[in-house]
Amino acid sequence: MLEIMLPAFAACAVLIGIHAYLGVHIIARGVIFVDLALAQIAALGAVTGALFGVPLHSAGSYFFSLGFTLLGAGLFSLTRLRDSEVPQEAFIGIVYVVSAALAVMVMDRIPGEAEQLKEMLVGNILFTDWKEIGKTALLYAGVGGAHYLFRDKFLAVSCGPEESVHGERNVRFWDFAFYALFGLVVTSSVAIAGVLLVFAFLIVPAVCSMFFYKGVAERLVFGWVTGLAASAAGLVASYKLDLPSGAAVVAAFGLLVPAAYLLRSKTPKGACGGGRLK
């Protein structure tokens, strides 16, 4: 059991480490489904590469996905319009459905790759090896380091006031930097765990932490602890009950939300509550 479950739990821990933090930003920005949109853009990049003869799950396929994801990051930074009657979530939804439609059209030309694409999107965290976990941990450590180094800028753009980053042009730059780093994470995470599990890692710990804490640091610690507990519970359930591992972990995360809601003392006001990482 440990030979299979220990690497899977380590992979969950690595993914939760970065996604619990990014989830705080995503909820503060009110762009809950940007993760799904960027994942779909990454998938479009992968199948486009396959159309040109680049095998899925190869280094070339990864860079195709990353290139498309960075284009998506640029688009999302441009569609954040101040004082606009159209919420950015609407643009994100449009990008998602258009990317999905384009991916279907491309896959129609390469039917033999459809099953591999399904595997890439669904993921199978039980088959993650220690080498892949180590490479992913190093990548996420770099992303986390960039966020820590420029934490004031990223938090200002996500939580406000935006004036602290001095002008609309700088807001656009830091917005793009956030989405570019986020896209880098999503491109790697989806290949390991699939879209559903990555979305659960991103949103559920951040939502649950908002019931109890105002500060970013407190929310982050709470998200790590609850995320690791839910991951362990889901993996154990999948082993004992012979369930699909990813679906079992997502279900365990789903139970966190009503449990946290029932246990909350009060809901703090404000998207970020004035919390800062120090």
Q: Are 99 and 40 in contact (CB under 8 A)?
A: yes
Domain locations along the chain: 2-263
- Whether the Cβ atoms of residue 197 and residue 123 lie closer than 8 Å to each other: yes
* pLDDT for the residue 124: 72
Asked whether the predicted pLDDT for residue 19 surpasses 90, the reply is: yes
Q: Does position 276 have pLDDT exceeding 50, yes or no?
A: no
User: Exposure of 205 by Cβ count < 10 A (0-12 exposed, 13-18 middle, 19+ buried)?
Assistant: buried
Residue 236's pLDDT is 92
As a 3-state breakdown, the chain gives helix, strand, coil percent values, each rounded to 5, of 80, 0, 20
pLDDT digits (tens, 9 = 90+) for 124-176: 788 888 998 999 999 999 999 999 999 888 888 887 655 555 555 677 888 88
The CATH code for residues 2-263 is 1.10.3470.10
Report helix angle 130-149 to 2-29, nearest 10: 30
What pLDDT digit, counting tens, does each position of 200-250 carry?
Answer: 999 999 999 988 888 888 889 999 999 999 999 999 998 888 888 888 999
In contact, 58 and 4? CB cutoff 8 Å: no
Which helix or strand (DSSP H or E) is residue 1 part of? Answer: none
For the chain, state the CA radius of gyration. Answer: 19
What is the model's pTM? 0.82
Q: What is the dihedral of CA 111, 116, 117, 123, to 10 degrees?
A: 160
Least confident of 23-27, 155-159, 236-240, 266-270: 266-270
Positions of E strands within 44-91: none
Residue 274 has pLDDT above 50, yes or no: no
